[in-house]
Amino acid sequence: MSLFWWALGILLSLMEVLSGEFILVSLGIAALAAGVAAYLGASLPWTLATFSAVAVLFLLSVRPFLRRLFFRASYTPTNAEALIGRIGYVTQAIGEGRPGRIQVDGQDWAARAEADLPEGTVVRVVALKGVTLWVEKAGEDREKEGAEA
């Protein structure tokens, strides 16, 4: 009976190459453990219990770890989030308590700031809250024309 479990374990582990979800390899390892239990003389109910326990253990603990290890998705900001850090200029004055407008990458955006910023001020986008960009005054070495590019 142990040969059956070992063959099943190897087959499931090899089939994992086709799926890549770490489910079949977890079941394959559980089958190998059941094969060891059968080889050591465990009865069929104990062998099935070993298979079930190891399968559940691997599916709940090892599989999530392997998925995080192999499928790390690198985060790339898109749309408005990609504007954070960009340079633009104020097209409508921004007051401490009222929003204004800025131009960033050729697009017009509602903007807020913690300080008053007059029209024409070169700004850097520091955050995005809803559809409003939060900005701060950029360094004096940038010109308005350079900010439009």
pLDDT the model gives residue 77: 67
Intervals of the chain under pLDDT 70:
73, 75-78, 140-149
- If DSSP codes are grouped into helix, strand and coil, which group holds residue 78? coil
Residues contacting residue 78 through CB under 8 Å, at least 6 positions apart: none
pLDDT the model gives residue 104: 92
4 alpha carbon, distance to own chain's centre: 40
pTM value is 0.48
Sign of the dihedral through C-alpha 60, 65, 66, 70: positive
Helix, strand, coil content of the chain in percent (nearest 5): 50, 25, 30
Q: Which CATH architecture has domain 79-138?
A: Beta Barrel (2.40)
pLDDT the model gives residue 147: 47
How do the domains of the chain map onto residue ranges?
2-70, 79-138
Other C-beta atoms lying within 10 Å of the C-beta of residue 34: 29
pLDDT the model gives residue 70: 78
